[in-house]
Amino acid sequence: MYKLNLDIAQFLKDYWQQKPVVIKGAFPHFEDPISADELAGLACEEEITSRIVVTQKDNWEVIQGPFEDYDNYGETHWQLLVQAVNHWYPDSQPLVEAFRFLPDWRFDDLMVSFATPNGGVGPHIDNYDVFIIQGEGQRRWTVGDNTPQQCRGGNPNSPLVEDFDPIIDMVLEKGDMLYIPPGFPHCGETLTLALSYSIGYRAPSQQELVSEVADYLLDKNLGQQRFTSASEPTNPGIISQDHQLGIMSLLSQLAQDPASYQVVLGKLLSQNRFELDICEGEEAYSIDDLQDAFEQGAGVNRIGGLKVLRLEKDAQSRLFINGEIYDLPNTPETMLAQLSDHVSFDCETALALCEHAEVQQLLLALINQGLYYLSDEEEA
């Protein structure tokens, strides 16, 4: 189990989404949930997103995975980064769970990096909040202020920024953690062979929202209201400010109407950016199979990274799972909360949930779709 040694209320008040901070000993007695060899193995898989960054003199070469072997890279100056390790490596899930003091919809993925001395991805800015936890080894991190930065070498297409004046300059050791909000330039430099864990967060952009809302309105043939006016300008060639504001208020009216945005948000925020490790069995379970399994002590778990969300003050009784709506009109809110807040259930809880026919059908459907799986009781 991973337990954060952190005053969460104070962190949320003073740092989250505001300023970077190093928390020394955030995980006392930290143990790496994965080894470098296991990570290297994951990066050989087609469906897993990975890259190697090779550091040359003021140049960072990126090679996209999958990789067949690592023989060419030598002992220093490179770093392997593997995305969504929590989807593919269940032993990394407990580390992710230590961060469920933040809502699941914000969580993007667990990226694990293996870095050799002098390896690093170079100075850059992320659009995401990230917690970087140091496992084995030592890395030196510098973080600059969130002032505008120049693209490296004046190249507007470079993902890197020019060197910056650090406001944080610290060596991270096993169990230390660095939190960086979006917009703060940062750079990790590797001192000794190191494993580090980036817990990343993401929020939708206006572009994404407008495009998702538009798709929904078109699909449901909603949003037909048009602009009407109480007065017209005297010059024929002008679009008056009144008319500009009136037309644009059609959009803000949509943004205030739950019928236009609730489904969009539920679907959008329950989706994953990275592929899930769907765990579909050869043959579908029946209700009786499920009941027998729970009676014999099996528990039930979500696959890694699966988002099961509900909306506060939802117009309907439902869950949003992996971008889909699951209507549960007869399920009490307490059960919806249980299903969305807990990633696993032991056999007793599963049996209690299954007393409710609608929830039993839901669990059956989710297991048969490979989004949940039966587990030994001690795992649940």
The binder of 113, among Co ion, ligand SIN, none, by C-beta within 5 to 8 A per type, is ligand SIN
Quick one: which of 122, 124, 103 has its CA closest to 183? 124
CB nearer ligand SIN, residue 62 or residue 287 = 62
Amino acid at 307: K
The binder of 149, among Co ion, ligand SIN, none, by C-beta within 5 to 8 A per type, is none
| DSSP 8-state code for residue 124 | B
User: Is residue 109 within 8 Å of residue 274, measured between CB atoms?
Assistant: yes
| Residues 171-210 as x/- pattern, contact with ligand SIN by CB under 6 A | ---------------x-x-------x-x------------
Task: In angstroms, give the least distance from the CB of 161 to ligand SIN.
Answer: 12
Q: What does the block give as tokens for 220?
A: 């449901």
Helices (H), the chain: 8-14, 36-42, 85-88, 93-97, 206-220, 241-255, 258-269, 287-295, 333-341, 347-354, 357-368
CB nearer ligand SIN, residue 20 or residue 188 = 188
- 158 SS3 class: coil
The Cα–Cα gap between 286 and 354 comes to 13
CB nearer ligand SIN, residue 159 or residue 204 = 159
| Residues 100-139 as x/- pattern, contact with ligand SIN by CB under 6 A | -------------x------xx----x---x-x-------
> Which secondary-structure segment (H or E) carries 113?
strand 107-115
| DSSP 8-state code for residue 310 | -
CB nearer Co ion, residue 198 or residue 270 = 198
The binder of 322, among ligand SIN, Co ion, none, by C-beta within 5 to 8 A per type, is none
Task: In angstroms, give the least distance from the CB of 157 to Co ion.
Answer: 18
Task: In angstroms, give the least distance from the CB of 49 to ligand SIN.
Answer: 14
Which residues are within 8 A (CB) of 90 and not within 5 positions of it... i.e. 6 or more apart? 304
Residues that bind ligand SIN (CB under 6 A): 113, 120-121, 126, 130, 132, 186, 188, 196, 198
